[in-house]
């Protein structure tokens, strides 16, 4: 079986920055186990598989090297980039997902791709798991949670940059991941974050579009503004443009082409 593969760096204007995603267009679904093997072989944060349903409407599934993921922003951006630039798709793309409903994407005049996500605002929790406290080198000021992750709010951007984590401890938070975040302190970004997912992805995720469906409404309420610019401060780093639009969260960013090739898959 021969499959086409694209690799795109998402949420960046430069190669080797942001977060890399593989995109594999399919005519029909292949077995789940085979998709997982391909994602493990690619060894990127996510491999997205997309299948057309009708004009401008596609089913999408995302796999990390470890497991299928129910919501991934950067691989959706990468998939949109591939469809807009290599499949001559025009206007709005609608992605059908298994877990979070439909997600749409449009290309803006400046080249950014803007995605519409469900609002996943986190809520304060009264009792924090001890594994979260023990798994971070800096004690958070506040802990929140949504369907995807725990949110650890830190005092400053410097703390976000400096924090260290213990994978073994954070694995105890499964099935939840963990994002650490703080108000921006560089004059360029409204808020910053880092994302750790040892259970579902293996370590620190370079740039996580999906978590901004929760970070954006949180910081919008704190900062009193609906449009925000975010930095995910991993080693590769990524810039995200975010906006609260009622029950939807708009997250946009640039993407850069890296690779197009063929996979020769012999089966399981």
Integer Cα distance of 62 and 201 in angstroms: 12
Element (H, E) at 11: none
Residue of 84, 79, 81 whose CA lies nearest to 22: 79
Residues 6+ apart with CB under 8 A from 182: 153, 154, 155, 156, 157, 159, 160, 191, 192, 193
Element (H, E) at 37: helix 32-42
- Residue 213: CB atoms within 10 A of its CB come to 29
Among this protein's residues, is 126 annotated catalytic?
no
- Asked if 234 and 18 count as a contact pair (C-beta separation under 8 A), the reply is no
Integer Cα distance of 25 and 260 in angstroms: 12
**Which entry of 13, 46, 68, 123 is annotated as an active-site residue?**
46
Integer Cα distance of 157 and 186 in angstroms: 8
Phi/psi of residue 44, each to 5°?
-105, 170
> Angle CA(167)–CA(208)–CA(174) in degrees, nearest 5?
35
> Number of helices and strands (H, E) in the chain?
6, 18
Report the catalytic residues.
Answer: 46
């Amino acid at each position: 079986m021969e499959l086409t593969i694209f690799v795109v760096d998402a949420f960046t204007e430069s190669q080797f920055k942001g977060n890399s995603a593989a995109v594999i267009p399919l005519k029909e679904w292949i077995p789940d186990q085979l998709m997982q093997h391909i994602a493990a072989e690619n060894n990127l944060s996510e491999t997205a598989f997309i299948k057309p349903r009708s004009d401008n409407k596609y089913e999408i599934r995302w796999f990390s090297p470890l497991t299928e993921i129910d919501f991934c922003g950067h691989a959706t951006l990468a998939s949109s980039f591939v469809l807009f630039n290599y499949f001559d798709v025009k206007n709005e793309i609608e992605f059908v997902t298994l877990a979070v409903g439909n997600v749409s994407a449009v290309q803006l005049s400046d080249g950014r791709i803007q995605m519409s996500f469900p609002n996943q605002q986190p809520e304060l929790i009264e009792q924090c798991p001890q594994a979260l406290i023990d798994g971070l080198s800096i004690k958070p000021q506040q802990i929140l949670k949504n369907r995807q992750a725990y949110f650890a709010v830190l005092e400053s951007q410097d703390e976000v940059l400096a924090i260290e984590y213990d994978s073994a401890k954070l694995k105890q938070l499964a099935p939840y991941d963990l994002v650490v975040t703080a108000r921006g302190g560089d004059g360029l970004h409204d808020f910053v974050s880092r994302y750790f997912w040892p259970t579902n992805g293996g370590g620190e995720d370079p740039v996580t579009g999906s978590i901004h469906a929760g970070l954006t409404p949180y910081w919008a309420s704190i900062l009193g503004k609906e449009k925000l610019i975010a930095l995910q401060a991993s080693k590769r780093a990524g810039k995200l443009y975010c906006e609260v639009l009622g029950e939807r969260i708009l997250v946009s960013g640039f993407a850069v082409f890296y690779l197009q090739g063929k996979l020769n898959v012999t089966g399981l």
